[in-house]
């Protein structure tokens, strides 16, 4: 078609499979195996009771939610930004903060979406190789650049970078905005959040999708200096005045409240316990298991191809994530499920690896 | 700060005021004065009952919702795209379809967001003046361009363009994508939807925020050829895999279903009746009232400045929309509320205009 000459063609990110049906064990998209905090159910009932309010636009600033998050983390409301999942927050952040002729830097092995956003927004970029042990070398980020994005803990490697190294990258790049994507921070690692008061070029991104069991609600957030956040808000308000629905604001506010804190900690502890158990069991089975600071394990086995294990598990209705990508095509990313789901996984693996 | 050199600074769109408090009559953001269909309340209760599902990502393709819309409008699923309100749908459409050195065309008086998106995405653009009577001249769009966006009915003028004129613009521009933004189409005007099977360069955008009383739910949609929609999906999947939350998909699906059709028609009829009554009353008071095909009236008065009427009404807790913009700074945009709210408006206007 003639009009195809004048449009923007892209190759999109492909999310993990979302199989439907019963008897499926889904360990492929790092969802939480436990339900959200009980406050979320109450909030949803509250929305149902007042469903007539749905005719009104939501608060464009989602103030209830930003305030609940600011209170929870002990920072100012002006240091908080919220969006439709951390992908939305990150996409808007790329559009806002990476606008230079110098390259955006990110690890060669990391969240695949970084490259997709860079391409979409035509941001020049350069991938910095991880070390052979898949750790991040902070010194490699002390080169001329137009911005930096690092997932910490990194995905799919599951490895955390220590806070001193993060600070070295942030302090060594005063000319650039540095984004630390902390989607998995509640499962391990040290958050860079305390650094936002000292470094106004630091943006810390988190999400409700993992530790808070609310992937279905689409809530992500960013923390940074008031100045950084205000630039991000300007771009948000240049795309969509009302990104956060009434329901998202209400259930997010409920889940972020201190009242639900104990439940949240209990669920996280349970996942960490299952993770350590799983790391032990998989190691016993001959897997090499990276030292995870996340709710998933990054594993490889010397005797069987990762793609074969992936396919064999899928036939048994167990979904894990396989990336057909350089350096990691011999690895699998396995989400931590309930102890019962993990037992099914061990059983299936024992059959598969025979 | 040094990093400010390397970021993208923009001037955002400013949405209508969202005052909070009781005793406020809000006729400034074209919300529906009536609640959503009862099916929406049931759907919300269903989400509350199954709140544990919230831990799972939603369907990235929002298939339930796209299918409900396809069934409702009698088109194919592949011809439907959904997003976080029509602003999200339009922003992604701008990013996808307007990627030319030739200018994007839109009316000089129209939805202010078009210019904001064009600036944000650095799309060259040219504003085509409305005629003196604020109508759109279709022939003015038969010039070299990289895309066209037209709101029909147009806002804030409230005027509809006939379908033959729309077709003239679409058929006369086979090299460009033409977006018809039909946010207000259910209140009058003829939808261009039947043309999507004949013109694969036509994208029709609609919303749940106005006629379906669901501004708070953030649901918008686009209809077009399967090819056009697939390009739009590629960009959507390059920004955020999961734009539509579980709750949005569920309540949108309920509201789009044929079961709620009678309620929807009844509400719309009520608004049209109030609109005709309001047009009569305001005309009696000396206002010049444009022939509205929307859920708002675009009015001007020969004896009093629009900005003064706006301020005087605001003091009485009645919010209408005033645009301090060339050609229309003597006009007000007044949303159609309930008959009771409109009586309060007439009363207040009588005091103000004395």
Same-domain pairing of B334 and B190: no
Asked if A55 and A12 sit in the same domain, the reply is no
> Measuring CA to CA, which residue among A123, A132, A121 is closest to residue A105?
A123
C-alpha dist (Å) from residue B24 to A246, B312, B345 = 20, 14, 11
Judge whether A266 is closer than 8 Å to chain B, CB to CB.
Answer: no
10-residue mean pLDDT series, chain B (354 residues)? 89 83 91 94 94 95 97 97 98 97 98 96 98 98 98 98 98 97 97 98 97 97 98 96 96 87 92 98 98 98 97 97 95 98 98 89
Domain's final residue, options A236, A260, A284 = A260
pLDDT more than 70, % of chain A: 100
pLDDT score of A51 more than 80: yes
* pLDDT in the model for residue B352: 93
What values do phi and psi take at A150, rounded to 5?
-135, 130
Provide the CATH number for the domain around residue A337.
3.90.1150.10
The CATH number of residue B82's host domain is 3.40.640.10
Chain A residues with CB-CB distance to B52 below 8 A: 35-36
Within 8 A by CB and 6+ apart from A79, the residues are A70, A196, A223, A224, A225, A226, A229
With CB atoms and an 8 Å threshold, state whether A6 touches B98.
yes
Judge whether A291 is closer than 8 Å to chain B, CB to CB: no
- Do B27 and B82 share a domain, yes or no? no
Where is the domain boundary, B223, B241, B259? B259
- Whether B10 is covered by a domain: the verdict is no
pLDDT of res. B16: 79
Residue B353's φ and ψ, nearest 5 degrees, are -85, -5
Q: Are B44 and A44 in contact (CB under 8 A)?
A: yes
Tell whether B295 lies on the interface with A, counting CB pairs under 8 A: no
Q: Are residues A92 and A225 in the same domain?
A: yes
- SS3 call for A34: coil
Same domain, A151 and A267: no
Shared domain for B140 and B272, answered yes or no, is no
Beta-carbon contacts below 8 Å between A and B: 293
Give φ, ψ of B106 to 5 degrees: -155, 160
User: B residues 309-338 near A, CB within 8 Å?
Assistant: none
Distant-in-sequence, close-in-space partners of B239: CB < 8 Å, separation ≥ 6 = A87, A88, A91, A117, A120, B92
Give residue A312's pLDDT. Answer: 97
Asked whether residue A191 falls in the same domain as residue A338, the answer is no
pLDDT over 90 percentage in chain A: 92
pLDDT score at A327: 96
Token pair recorded at residue B322: 């005033």
Whether residues B104 and B146 fall in one domain: yes
Average of pLDDT values for A133-162? 98
Cβ atoms < 10 Å from Cβ of B9 = 10
User: Are A73 and A185 within 8 A, CB to CB?
Assistant: no
| Residue B316: inside a domain | yes
pLDDT at A17: 82
Beta strands in chain A (DSSP E): 25-26, 80-83, 104-107, 125-128, 147-151, 178-181, 202-207, 220-223, 288-289, 296-300, 318-319, 321-322, 331-335
Per-residue pLDDT, B197: 97
Indicate if B284 and B252 belong to the same structural domain. Answer: no
DSSP A257-292: SGGGHHHHHHHHHHHHHHHHHHHHHHHHTT-EE---
Average pLDDT rounded to a whole number, residues A159-163: 98
Neighboring chain A residues of B54 at a CB cutoff of 8 Å: 35-36, 40, 213-217, 251
Regarding whether B300 and B161 lie in a shared domain, the answer is: no
**Chain B residues with CB inside 8 Å of A175's CB?**
2-3, 5-6
Residues 184-223 of A with CB under 8 A from B: 200-201, 209, 213-218
User: Looking at the structure, do residues B204 and B101 belong to the same domain, yes or no?
Assistant: yes
Last residue of a domain, one of B239, B259, B279: B259
ipTM above 0.90, yes or no: yes
Instruction: Judge if B177 and B323 occupy the same domain.
Output: no
Structural domain harbouring B186? 38-259
- Evaluate whether residue B15 is within a structural domain: no
Asked if residue B13 belongs to a domain, the reply is no
**Within a domain: B342:** yes
Domain count for chain B: 2
């Amino acid at each position: 078609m003639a009009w195809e000459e004048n449009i923007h063609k892209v190759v999109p990110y492909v999310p993990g499979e979302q199989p439907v049906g019963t008897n499926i064990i889904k360990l492929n998209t790092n969802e939480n195996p436990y339900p959200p905090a009980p406050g979320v159910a109450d909030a949803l009932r509250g929305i149902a009771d007042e469903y007539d309010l749905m005719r009104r636009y939501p608060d464009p600033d989602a103030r209830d939610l930003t305030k609940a998050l600011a209170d929870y983390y002990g920072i100012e409301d002006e240091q908080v930004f919220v969006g439709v999942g951390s992908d939305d927050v990150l996409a808007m952040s790329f559009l806002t903060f990476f606008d230079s002729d110098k390259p955006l830097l990110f690890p060669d092995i990391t969240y695949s979406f970084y490259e997709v956003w860079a391409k979409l927004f035509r941001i020049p970029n350069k991938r910095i190789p991880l070390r052979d042990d898949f750790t991040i070398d902070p010194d490699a980020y002390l080169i001329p650049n137009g911005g930096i994005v690092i997932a910490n803990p990194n995905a799919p490697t599951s490895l955390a970078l220590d806070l001193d190294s993060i600070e070295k990258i942030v302090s060594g790049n005063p000319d650039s905005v540095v984004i630390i994507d902390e989607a998995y921070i509640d499962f391990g690692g040290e958050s860079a959040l305390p650094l936002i008061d000292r470094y106004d070029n630091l943006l810390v991104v988190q999400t409700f999708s993992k530790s808070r069991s609310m992937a279905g609600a689409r809530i992500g957030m960013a923390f940074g200096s008031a100045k950084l956040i205000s630039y991000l808000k300007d771009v948000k308000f240049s795309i969509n005045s009302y990104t956060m629905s009434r329901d998202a604001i209400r259930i997010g506010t409920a889940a972020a409240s201190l009242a639900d804190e104990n439940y949240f900690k209990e669920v996280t502890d349970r996942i960490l316990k299952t993770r350590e158990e799983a790391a032990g069991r998989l190691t016993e089975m001959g897997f090499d298991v990276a030292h995870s600071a996340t709710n998933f394990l990054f594993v490889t086995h010397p005797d069987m191809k990762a793609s074969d294990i992936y396919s064999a598990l899928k036939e048994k209705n167990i979904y894990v994530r396989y990336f057909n990508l350089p350096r990691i095509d011999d690895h699998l990313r396995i989400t931590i499920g309930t102890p019962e789901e993990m037992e099914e996984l061990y059983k299936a693996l024992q059959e598969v690896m025979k």
